[in-house]
Amino acid sequence: MVSNSIEINLIAGALGAEIQGVDLSQPLDNVTFEHIHQALLDHCVIFFRGQDITPDQQHDFAKRWGKVHFHPHIKGLPERPEIFEIVKDKDDVHTLGGDWHTDQMFTETPVRATMLYAKEVPPHGGDTLFANAYLAYETLSVGMKGILDGLYTRNTYNMRKNRASAMQVNDIEERPVEAEHPLIRTHSETGRKAVYISYEGITRNIVGMTEAESAPILTYLRKHLTRPEFTCRFRWEEGSLAMWDNRCVQHLAINDYHGHRRVMHRITVAGERTH
């Protein structure tokens, strides 16, 4: 227990905590918000269950964390364009976010935090996995840390080729966007270091190396970062809300509910340049 009615319960050893005693449909006082903020810094991803919030209320909660980010390519809700709806219909094959990644690493200023709210969930399946990138770095050998510190990666993405079938996109160019980021990122609030990569379709190579030369290092780091003991798993319910810190977390949406529909509302908090 941290104050009055707020309770923080860890869901795994590596990361993740459920927060109880908070109604996100109501304005939060500063003390309550600071407890929630610290919980995110401590546990990297936080979860709230049983929430009944409107898009405006989700937007208001996101604003407490900083400037709200507009996705550069995906259309938002008509009444609240900062939020976009992720829909996977029962016949869709592709799932948005179905590979281990951190959000919008292909941009110069990747989003700081992502907030996902469950509107409609399948009767089973559709869980999300999260991985702690701090632990991935901290458990590397001294020699490997020495090799990786100071390196940068090239990250690219083509929204037109990779979007989910149910997503509504704005007019976008055929050529992919591209950005460079430190392979080992220092968190701007905690000062801890984390392995900062995404799947091979985004993090293409280490700057100064070819893709073939980079592959052994990046492949090792991807496998290392997503070791089971570095992860947690969240089972969604209608009214669940998850928020994660993209500076130190990777996530993956599990595509195991074909024949059922899933609807989520996503909003993100603007980030900062990584270098």
Residue 140 C-alpha from the chain's centroid: 23
Q: Kindly report whether the global pTM for this prediction surpasses the value 0.85.
A: yes
Nearest residue to 101 via CA among 47, 153, 143, 43:
153
How large is the average pLDDT for residues 253-273? 96
pLDDT digits (tens, 9 = 90+) for 213-232: 999 999 999 999 999 999 99
1 pLDDT exceeds 50? no
Beta bridge partners of 117: 241, 265
Angle, CA 217 vertex, CA 114 and CA 247 arms, to 5°: 20
Burial class (CB within 10 angstroms; exposed 0-12, middle 13-18, buried 19+) of 192: middle
**Backbone conformation region of residue 158, classed left if phi is above 0, alpha if psi is from -120 to 50, else beta:** beta
In angstroms, the CA 81 to CA 256 distance is 29
What is the residue extent of each domain of the chain? 7-269
* Catalytic position from the list 101, 112, 262, 265: 101
- For 32-87, the pLDDT digits (tens) are 999 999 999 999 999 999 999 999 999 999 999 999 988 777 889 999 999 999 99
Q: Is the pLDDT of residue 170 over 70?
A: no
Out of 40-49, 95-104, 132-141, 163-172, least confident range: 163-172
One-letter amino acid of 163: R
Average pLDDT over residues 86-110: 93
Instruction: Identify whether the C-beta of residue 109 lies closer than 8 Å to the C-beta of residue 186.
Output: no
Neighbours of 226 (CB within 10 A): 18
Catalytic position from the list 112, 154, 247, 251: 251
Residues 103, 154, 247, 265: which is the catalytic one? 103
Catalytic residue among 43, 112, 265, 266: 266
Question: Does the 7-269 domain belong in CATH 3.90.550.10?
Answer: no
Measured distance CA(32)–CA(6) in Å, rounded: 8
Q: Is 181 annotated in the active site?
A: no
Q: What is the pLDDT of residue 20?
A: 97
Nearest to 192 by CA among 110, 272, 134, 142: 134
DSSP 228: G
Q: Is 103 a catalytic residue?
A: yes
d(CA 94, CA 14): 29
Active site residue 256: no
- pLDDT band with cut points at 50, 70 and 90 for residue 2: very low
Is 247 labeled as catalytic in the residue annotation? no
